[in-house]
Amino acid sequence: MSATTKPSGDEAPSKEQQLKSYLAEKAADGEMYFKSKFIADEVGLSPKEIGALMVKLKDSATDLEVEKWSYTSATTWRVEPA
C-alpha cells in the first residue's frame, strides 16, 4: 500500500466533487462571488479546469445555485446554497 492510498479503499474525490465541496463550504452562510483564477490554488485546480467544471455544476448541482454573473477580464461566478 502506498502512502497516498486511503486505507478504506475509497477513491479520491473527482475534480467536480472536490470543487463542489469547496463551493458548498464557502457558500454555506450565503452567496459568494469569485473568479476562477483567485480560488485555483485553494481548490488545487487550474482556472481553466474550474471554468469548465462550473459550467457542468451549473446544470447538475442540485444543492447549489450557480450563476454566471459577469465578465470583466475573467468570468465572475455567483454561488449560493439551493
Please give the CATH architecture assigned to the domain spanning 15-81: Orthogonal Bundle (1.10)
Rounded CA separation 24/1 (Å)? 32
Helix residue ranges, H only, 1-82: 15-26, 36-43, 47-60
What are the residue boundaries of the structural domains of the chain, listed by start? 15-81
Pairing of β 75-81 and β 64-71: antiparallel
The per-residue pLDDT for 5 is 43
Whether 20 has a pLDDT exceeding 60, the answer reads yes
Residue pLDDT, tens place only, 22-50: 999 999 999 999 999 999 999 999 999 99
Query: pTM of the prediction?
Result: 0.80
User: What integer best gives the mean pLDDT of the chain?
Assistant: 88
Whether 7 has a pLDDT exceeding 70, the answer reads no
